[in-house]
Homo-oligomer: A and B are copies of this chain.
């Protein structure tokens, strides 16, 4: 997905919100926005939003002098999500369609995001995701392709959300590679965050090599690009991965909640909608 003009004010909002996680010094925050302003002319509308997001959040880390401002919030999100794990596990086990219920819960987990809006209510989102109709639902194709897949490549998104990914991986019941970001960026899950969520109990954790809030291919390692090229069944979570991979040439199932108007428009859905969308399937 390309960057829209309307993404630009949003990048300033995101920089300010992330900057405030690191510091409350107004001069530093103004300097951060000034530097983003200077950078703007080098940002092409042909790049994907997570490519620019990468520059924005790297700038935040550099100007505030904090290489991982979201470390504390990420840990809190994981602890909160782990506290909901037993209850959600039970919801899945009692469901008529366990796999679809686990997909719904994994999508609900995608609301744990400090990027586009910054506020969320995970319990309310879980309730909503369990009952809301899918705006896009390629579930039958998902099941068909899953049945014959030997291994899953599961591209994670945010810390905390990983706990809900774990619930889905348990239902997929196949050998799974769980992909994390190589470097801390925004509240995206790194290896450490995935370990805290217990992903290692259900999958092998691998890095995409990327330090962007989304699997932006030119920032990913050759090893990851090879995995993507060869994977039998790919799941990509969240907006950032959708933005980065929506034009990829291989089959991918995107699981996300539309959290901004531009993504919603791109998908032909409304803000708040839940999506299970397969491309090239």
Find chain B residues with CB under 8 A from A9 CB: 9-10, 12-13, 16
Contact check, A26 vs B12: say whether CB atoms are below 8 A apart.
Answer: no
- Give the CA-CA distance A5 to B29 in the complex, in Å: 8
> Chain B residue with minimal CB distance to A10?
B9
User: Which residues A22-57 have CB closer than 8 A to chain B?
Assistant: 26, 29-30, 33-34, 36-41, 45
**Per DSSP, are chain A's interface residues mostly helix, strand or loop, or mixed?**
helix
> Chain B residue with minimal CB distance to A6?
B16
How far, in Å, is A118 (CB) from chain B's closest CB? 12
Q: Is A8 an interface residue (CB 8 A)?
A: yes
Among candidates B5, B33, B45, residue contacting A8 with C-beta atoms closer than 8 Å: B33
Find chain B residues with CB under 8 A from A37 CB: 36-41
Find chain B residues with CB under 8 A from A38 CB: 37-38, 40-41
Among candidates B5, B10, B29, B34, residue contacting A40 with C-beta atoms closer than 8 Å: B34
Contact check, A45 vs B16: say whether CB atoms are below 8 A apart.
Answer: no
Find chain B residues with CB under 8 A from A40 CB: 33-34, 37-38
- Give the CA-CA distance A26 to B4 in the complex, in Å: 9
In the assembled complex, 29 residue pairs joining A and B whose CB atoms fall closer than 8 Å, in A order, are A5-B16, A5-B26, A5-B29, A5-B30, A5-B33, A6-B16, A8-B12, A8-B16, A8-B33, A9-B9, A9-B10, A9-B12, A9-B13, A9-B16, A12-B12, A26-B45, A30-B45, A33-B40, A34-B40, A34-B41, A36-B37, A37-B37, A37-B38, A37-B39, A37-B40, A37-B41, A38-B38, A38-B40, A38-B41
